[in-house]
Amino acid sequence: MGRILFILVLLAVSFYVVKLIRTKMDEAPKEIKKDTKSTNNNMVKCLHCGLHIPEEEAIKQGDKTFCSLEHAKEEL
């Protein structure tokens, strides 16, 4: 009887550990996704017209950002 109880406790503990690992594994990719999403959606303001555009689409002149080459040229 004592042996069965020991096996049951062992099973319960192993299930708990597996569950704990699974929840940790599920959380990790979500955090990575969140980070990439926030960097991809980083909006910058055009110094000329004030339009907000994604950072990767912006024209950069030093530390200044513009929505188009025309606006970048007008500010220089």
The correct pick among 46, 58, 59, 72 for binding Zn ion (CB under 5 A) is 46
Q: Tell whether residue 43 is a contact of Zn ion (CB under 5 A).
A: no
CA atoms within a 13 Å half-sphere pointing along the CA-CB vector of 45: 4
Closest by CA position to 63, among listed 35, 75, 74, 12: 75
Nearer to Zn ion, 12 or 54 (CB): 54
Q: How far is the CB of 47 from Zn ion (least distance, A)?
A: 8
Three-class DSSP category at 65: strand
Name the residues that contact Zn ion, by CB under 5 A: 46, 48-49, 51, 67, 71
